[in-house]
């Protein structure tokens, strides 16, 4: 019986070693597969493909603007599109000129829905322009402006004082009566 036990124990240990090796090999395979997969939150590689139609149009517009200026952009039929430049918006805007908005920041043509700068991507430029306008309105007037305003106020004050001095009463002496107003009889 002791020999049988040792043979059984040796067989058990051999099976256990084989299982442990198989588990270690499977764990190594899983670790390799996980390392090959991209992590969550990691930036995915962008496939290098042709630019979108809007990007290509903007690039063309910038090239023409550099070479010929704004007049060249407006004269180029491909760039002065008859379709709204909003992303995903394909509204035709050539039929009614009153319903076309030209953005003052990117100079593209939009329908009324996409025309707001915040709606099509010029929100930062619009906020910067609004901030600059607020700061310009809030600034103190220059010394010349202040002096001119002070002179206008002095002239008005002098006119009011002169008008007040010229007034004369049309009544005949003091008013004597029983009314409740000041200076009209005894109390």
Structural tokens at position 73 = 């952009």
Model pTM score: 0.35
Q: Find, among 57, 50, 66, the residue nearest to 108 by Cα.
A: 57
Residue 17 belongs to some domain of the structure: no
Range of the domain at 117: 82-134
Question: Distance between CA atoms of 66 and 73, rounded to whole angstroms?
Answer: 10
Residue 115 belongs to some domain of the structure: yes
CA distances from 104 to 53, 54, 108, 147 (A): 22, 18, 8, 36
Report the relative pairing of strands 109-110 and 101-102 from DSSP bridges.
antiparallel
Query: Who has greater pLDDT, 158 or 9?
Result: 158
Would you say 39 and 45 are in contact if contact means Cβ atoms under 8 Å apart?
no
Residue 92 belongs to some domain of the structure: yes
Residue 52 belongs to some domain of the structure: no
Residue 126 belongs to some domain of the structure: yes
Would you say 121 and 128 are in contact if contact means Cβ atoms under 8 Å apart?
no
Residue 68 belongs to some domain of the structure: no
pLDDT, tens only, 151-181: 999 999 999 999 888 766 555 555 555 556 5
Q: Residue 72's pLDDT is what?
A: 66
Q: Residue 42's pLDDT is what?
A: 67
Residue 13 belongs to some domain of the structure: no
User: Residue 110 carries which DSSP code?
Assistant: E
Residue 36 belongs to some domain of the structure: no
pLDDT, tens only, 43-95: 666 666 666 666 776 777 778 777 777 666 566 655 566 778 787 787 877 65
Would you say 8 and 16 are in contact if contact means Cβ atoms under 8 Å apart?
no
Number of structural domains the chain divides into: 1
**Cβ neighbourhood burial of 27 (10 Å; 0-12, 13-18, 19+):** exposed
């Amino acid at each position: 019986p002791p020999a049988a036990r040792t043979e059984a124990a040796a067989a058990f240990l051999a099976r256990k070693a084989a299982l442990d090796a198989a588990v270690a090999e499977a764990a190594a395979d899983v670790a390799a597969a996980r390392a090959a997969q991209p992590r969550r939150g990691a930036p995915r590689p962008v496939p290098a493909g042709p630019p979108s139609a809007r990007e290509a149009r903007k690039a063309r517009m910038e090239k023409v603007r550099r070479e010929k200026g704004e007049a060249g952009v407006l004269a180029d039929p491909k760039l002065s599109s008859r379709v709204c430049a909003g992303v995903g918006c394909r509204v035709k805007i050539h039929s009614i000129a009153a319903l076309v908005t030209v953005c003052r920041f990117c100079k593209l043509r939009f329908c009324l829905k996409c025309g707001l700068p915040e709606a099509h991507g010029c929100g930062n430029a619009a906020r910067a322009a609004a901030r600059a306008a607020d700061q310009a309105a809030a600034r103190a007037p220059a010394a010349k402006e202040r002096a001119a305003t002070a002179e206008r106020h002095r002239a008005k004050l002098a006119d009011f004082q002169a008008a007040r001095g010229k007034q004369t009463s049309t009544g005949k002496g003091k008013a004597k009566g029983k009314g409740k107003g000041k200076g009209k009889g005894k109390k």
